[in-house]
Amino acid sequence: MALDRTFAVVDKTVKDFTRISFWVTIVVQVVFLALYGYKIYLNLDHLTYLIIYSVLALISMFGFIFYLSTYRSRKKKAIKGTKKGLRIFKYFANGAMMVAIIVEFALNGVTSDLELIISGISMISFILQIIFELVRSAYTKYSELLIIAIRLDVAGMESFITKTTNPKETFFSALNVPLKKLSRKIKGEDKPADKEKTKTEQYVEQLGDDYRTKKKEKKAERVKKQKDEIKENLKTIFGFFRRKKKTKADEN
């Protein structure tokens, strides 16, 4: 296939981002587990904070366990949607934890240096994780669009390359087309429906149509501008010769 190296590099980058994201998630969650445990221990005598931190810890743990248990099957549609919702829920729990800690610090002050250090590390790691996830998600999304766009654009080129570099495959493929039609007709089978494009492919096609329309409009604008310039230049040239001719006529 044409551009195999390009596709391979993009695919490897996406996989590396996903792998790094996995380990970042584990590290951040371990830090938060330490923070949750420490805050629950410190607030054993404060029922309100104890309930808040315990509930947030359970939500965060549930999301983390689900993340680990479904990591290998993360591409399945049924799991993909649930996983995204739980990830957002887990981020909400960890974010609420940060807010609760800030409120507690504001009301009661810092009880120990260890608490301050763990809270600071948790907050920084949480922010970095969100930034990394946003970058990874954006790269994954746009790399998928890029790969699909390239594949659609080079489909015809790839067919031409196959015909040129692999004449045997081209010969047998061309020979099989009428035989397949005849065989299907004998069996009374309907012509197979064309493969329906995915939503992403449809989106890429729409982007391509919009781009071609804009490109056509810009080309029309450039042509119009060139025509206007030609008219202006011809007007200037003819005007010059007319004035010159008139000057000679006046001299005579």
pLDDT along the chain (252 residues), means of 10: 71 83 84 84 83 85 78 63 68 81 79 79 83 82 81 67 60 67 71 66 79 82 87 83 71 62
Region of 191 (left: φ > 0; alpha: ψ -120 to 50; beta: rest) is beta
pLDDT score recorded for residue 57: 84
Question: Is residue 99 packed enough to be buried (19+ CB in 10 Å), middle (13-18) or exposed (0-12)?
Answer: exposed
The candidate with the shortest Cα–Cα distance to 67, out of 129, 37, 25, 100, is 25
pLDDT score recorded for residue 161: 57
Residues constituting the chain: 252
pTM of this prediction exceeds 0.85: no
Place of tokens 């080129």: 157
pLDDT score recorded for residue 75: 62
pLDDT score recorded for residue 1: 52
Query: Is the distance from CB of 57 to CB of 36 less than 8 angstroms?
Result: yes
pLDDT score recorded for residue 191: 62
pLDDT score recorded for residue 121: 84
